[in-house]
């Protein structure tokens, strides 16, 4: 692309300047402050801080449960979006509104509500305890909370794409002799895959950084149910700003590379579709 191409829309210079300023001020500036703070540690000190056993256990829990949570959302989010777009049923508007609730709810409220339901004396916790499943204060509870907060992402990214797909396309596929499964796999799935990946990535990123709801349901037991953001808070409690930012930088780099990977996948999926 050439710099000087005259677009149809005016104001390219102005809007680009605004974009760069906006992203720079709100994203790049705080993040670089973080990196600078973390680099005040020597390399060996930095390495010990980010690679001790407790930190490793926290990364495993954070990335593991965020991954599981967003995978669950990727599958069920598509399902929910499908139902909302393709079927008319009483209460559809209500379900549609409910999907956004995890966005609107303060995360602490979500955490407390989930814990109330799943703790050993809770409505569901009681029943689950009978079959020997403990949710609250276990890694399963963490995953549950991260799934909850990720619900809207996949639904809201897939929904508009599904709306764009004309049901005629499906009918055409049927007329041409495709089975229902073939129609889904060859016609619908390729069109919604990029959006699903975007939703998955958003849900995953959101889950990684989640603190408010998880601290209530996780029980915060060191080595077992301590998420990485909690580790950052414990470092801050001892005014170890450098240590806290070091852990944060590890999180940031890991999530950035993962998001980049998902973006590449998504681009590949779009190209495959076209």
Partner 1 sequence: MHQRPLSTRFSRDGSSPSRKALVFFLARSACLVIALCSLVTSCKKSAGAGTAPAASSSGSRAPAPITLLNVSYDPTRELYQDFNAVFAKYWRDKAGQEVKINQSHGGSGKQARAVIDGLEADVVTLALGYDVSALHDKGQLLAADWQSKLPNNSSPYTSTIVFVVRSGNPKHIKDWNDLVRAGVQVITANPKTGGGARWNYLAAWGYALKQPGGNDAKARAFVTKLYENVPVLDSGARGSTTTFVERGIGDVLIAWENEAMLSVNELGKGKFELIAPSMSILCEPPVAVVDKNVDKHGTRAVSEAYLTYLYSPEGQAVVVKHYYRPRDPDVLAKHKSAFADIQLFTVDELFGGWTKAQTTHFNDGGIFDHIYQPKK
Q: Is 130 in the site for partner 1 (CB under 8 A)?
A: no
Which pairs count as long-range contacts for 228-233, CB under 8 Å and 24+ apart, including other chains? 228/55, 228/58, 228/59, 228/61, 228/62, 229/62, 230/58, 231/54, 231/55, 231/58
Stretch that binds partner 1, among 28-36, 185-193, 236-244, 250-258 (CB under 8 A): 236-244
Backbone angles phi, psi at 223, to 5 degrees: 75, -20
- Total of residues contacting partner 1 (CB under 8 A): 40
Q: Is 59 in the site for partner 1 (CB under 8 A)?
A: no
Q: Is 236 in the site for partner 1 (CB under 8 A)?
A: yes
- Specify burial of residue 42 (Cβ count, 10 A radius: 0-12, 13-18, 19+): exposed
Chain centroid to Cα 248, Å, comes to 17
- Interface pick for partner 1 out of 221, 253, 260, 272 (rule CB under 8 A): 221
**Residue 137 Cβ vs partner 1, minimum distance, rounded to whole Å:** 5
Q: How many CA atoms lie within 13 Å of 156's alpha carbon, on the beta-carbon side?
A: 14
Please, are residues 229 and 241 in contact by the beta-carbon 8 Å criterion?
no
- Interface pick for partner 1 out of 215, 246, 251, 262 (rule CB under 8 A): 215
Rg, the chain, Cα only? 22
**Residue 66 Cβ vs partner 1, minimum distance, rounded to whole Å:** 19
Closest CA to 231 of 52, 40, 67, 111: 52
Q: Is 53 in the site for partner 1 (CB under 8 A)?
A: yes
Binding mask 61-90 vs partner 1 (x if CB under 8 A, - otherwise)? ------------------------xx-x--
Q: Is 45 in the site for partner 1 (CB under 8 A)?
A: no
Stretch that binds partner 1, among 37-45, 62-70, 217-225, 259-267 (CB under 8 A): 217-225
Residue numbers of the site for partner 1 (CB under 8 A)?
52-54, 85-86, 88, 96, 112, 115-116, 119-122, 137, 159-160, 163-164, 166-167, 170-171, 215-216, 219-223, 230, 233-240, 243
């Amino acid at each position: 692309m050439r710099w000087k191409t005259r677009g149809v829309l005016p104001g390219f210079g102005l809007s680009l300047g605004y974009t760069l300023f906006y992203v720079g001020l709100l994203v790049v500036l705080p993040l670089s402050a973080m990196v600078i703070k973390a680099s005040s540690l020597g390399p060996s000190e930095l390495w010990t801080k980010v690679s001790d056993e407790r930190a490793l256990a926290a990364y495993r829990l954070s990335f593991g449960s965020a991954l599981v949570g967003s995978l669950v959302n990727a599958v069920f989010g598509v399902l929910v979006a499908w139902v909302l777009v393709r079927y008319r049923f009483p209460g559809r508007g209500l379900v549609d509104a409910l999907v956004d609730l995890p966005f609107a709810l303060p995360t602490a409220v979500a955490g407390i509500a989930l814990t109330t339901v799943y703790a050993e004396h809770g409505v569901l916790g009681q029943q689950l305890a009978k079959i020997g499943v403990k949710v609250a204060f276990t890694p399963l509870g963490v995953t549950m909370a991260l799934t909850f907060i990720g619900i809207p992402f996949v639904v809201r990214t897939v929904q508009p794409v599904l709306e764009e797909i004309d049901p005629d396309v499906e009918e055409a596929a049927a007329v041409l002799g495709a089975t229902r499964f073939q129609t889904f796999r060859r016609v619908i799935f390729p069109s919604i895959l990029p959006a699903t990946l975007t939703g998955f990535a958003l849900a995953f990123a959101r889950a990684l950084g989640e603190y408010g709801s998880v601290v209530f349901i996780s029980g915060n037991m060191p080595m077992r149910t301590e998420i990485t953001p909690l580790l950052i808070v414990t470092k801050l409690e001892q005014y170890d700003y450098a240590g806290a930012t070091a852990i944060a930088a590890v999180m940031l780099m890991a999530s950035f590379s993962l998001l980049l990977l998902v973006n590449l996948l998504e681009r590949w999926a779009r190209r495959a579709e076209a």
